[in-house]
């Protein structure tokens, strides 16, 4: 009979996958590099096979490592749910969470289902809108939490996740070869749009708008119809879409921050619990950022803390 797995080994493994670096993993966990290496060795011995292979200087998961990673994230997620439930067993009441439909569709289901299991008496009211509108709503205390795309115009908040942006077109479409290239974009003031246009201009490629939509479904329709190229988060790439890169004359795009903002004008214990749950969920996910900025409650500044 196999001995029970040490959760600390799973945590170190998850962080190592996120960072790809023993030094950064040791920094986040507050341990020495030899200690982290020993934990990885112990996990490999406990699970019966190597978790990583090296390609050049890069750590790449083996098939066994991919299998263990999926279970590790599930196990650590369940631990977070249990801790949340034990911390506030009788928590109830409504919470209004605002987020763009992009995140609602592809990132929130796991968060909301886990939070529901931890706090079945809390009613989460989900509001979908553009990030700029949700920021205004949370500032007016019309919603309790806003989980939005970080933008330079916004105040500092809690960076809970980081996602790469990618160019996409329909799988069998050649629309990306047209010049000017037709684009499906969000309205002005959105960082996906800003980054996309700046990237094209940096290589001197001309463009035109074929679709401007506030909703993800509108952008997806234009892409799937083969009438435009879009910019989306990598997690929202669907079957039938093809990612474009340098070989198709599309420059790489930067990552965007997913930022959590909390209304400071009213006390809501259920909202605080959901906000903390969101932070913990992404901290143990593949989207965990290297660090997060936390604005102090008094609004007197910001501190940078490790995301792990």
State the pLDDT at residue 231.
96
State the pLDDT at residue 297.
33
State the pLDDT at residue 253.
96
State the pLDDT at residue 85.
67
Q: What pTM was estimated for this model as a whole?
A: 0.71
Would you call the peptide bond into 144 cis, given omega within 30 degrees of 0 as the criterion?
no
pLDDT digits (tens, 9 = 90+) for 231-260: 999 888 999 999 999 999 999 999 999 999
Please list, in sequence order, all residues whose beta carbon lies within 8 angstroms of the beta carbon of residue 84, skipping any fewer than 6 positions away: 115, 118, 119, 273, 276, 277, 280
- Show contacts of 172-180: CB within 8 Å, 24+ apart: 172/226, 173/226, 173/242, 175/226, 175/227, 175/228, 175/229, 176/229, 176/244, 176/248, 176/250, 177/248, 179/205, 179/206, 180/205, 180/206, 180/207, 180/208
What are the φ and ψ backbone dihedral angles of 105, each rounded to 5 degrees? -80, -35
Which residues of the chain fall below pLDDT 50? Answer: 1, 292-308
> Please, are residues 144 and 260 in contact by the beta-carbon 8 Å criterion?
no
Give dist(CA 209, CA 203) in Å, integer: 18
Continuous segment of H or E residues that includes residue 158? strand 158-170
State the pLDDT at residue 299.
30
Find, among 42, 62, 37, the residue nearest to 52 by Cα.
62
Q: Is the dihedral of CA 197, 200, 206, 207 positive or negative?
A: negative
Cα torsion at 185, 188, 193, 194 (round to 10°)? 160
State the pLDDT at residue 302.
32
State the pLDDT at residue 290.
67
* Domains of the chain listed by start with CATH number: 7-84 (1.10.10.10), 92-162+258-306 (3.40.190.10), 164-255 (3.40.190.10)
């Amino acid at each position: 009979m196999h001995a029970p797995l040490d959760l600390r080994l799973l945590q170190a493994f998850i962080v190592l996958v996120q960072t790809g670096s023993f030094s950064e993993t040791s920094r986040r966990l507050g341990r020495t590099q030899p200690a982290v290496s020993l934990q990885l060795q112990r996990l490999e011995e406990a699970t019966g096979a190597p978790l990583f292979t090296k390609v050049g200087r890069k750590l790449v998961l083996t098939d066994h490592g991919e299998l263990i990673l999926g279970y590790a994230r599930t196990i650590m997620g369940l631990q977070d749910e249990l801790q949340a439930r034990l911390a506030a067993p009788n928590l109830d009441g409504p919470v209004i969470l605002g987020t763009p439909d992009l995140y609602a569709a592809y990132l929130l289901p796991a968060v909301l289902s886990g939070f529901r299991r931890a706090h079945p008496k809390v009613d989460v009211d989900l509001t979908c809108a553009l990030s700029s509108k949700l920021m205004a709503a949370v500032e007016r205390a019309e919603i309790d939490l806003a989980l939005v795309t970080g933008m330079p115009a916004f105040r500092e908040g809690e960076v809970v996740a980081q996602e790469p942006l990618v160019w996409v077109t329909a799988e069998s479409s050649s629309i990306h070869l047209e010049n000017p290239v037709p684009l499906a974009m969000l309205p002005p003031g959105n960082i996906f749009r800003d980054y996309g246009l700046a990237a094209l201009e940096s290589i001197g490629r001309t463009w035109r708008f074929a679709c401007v939509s506030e909703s993800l479904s509108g952008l997806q329709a234009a892409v799937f119809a083969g009438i435009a190229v879009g910019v989306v988060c990598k997690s929202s790439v669907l079957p039938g879409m093809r990612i474009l890169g340098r070989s198709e004359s599309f420059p790489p795009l930067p990552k965007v921050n997913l930022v959590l903002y909390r209304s400071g004008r009213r006390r809501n214990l259920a909202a605080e619990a959901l906000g903390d749950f969101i932070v913990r969920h992404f901290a143990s996910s593949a989207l965990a950022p290297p660090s997060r900025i936390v604005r102090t409650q008094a609004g007197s500044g910001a501190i940078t803390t490790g995301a792990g």
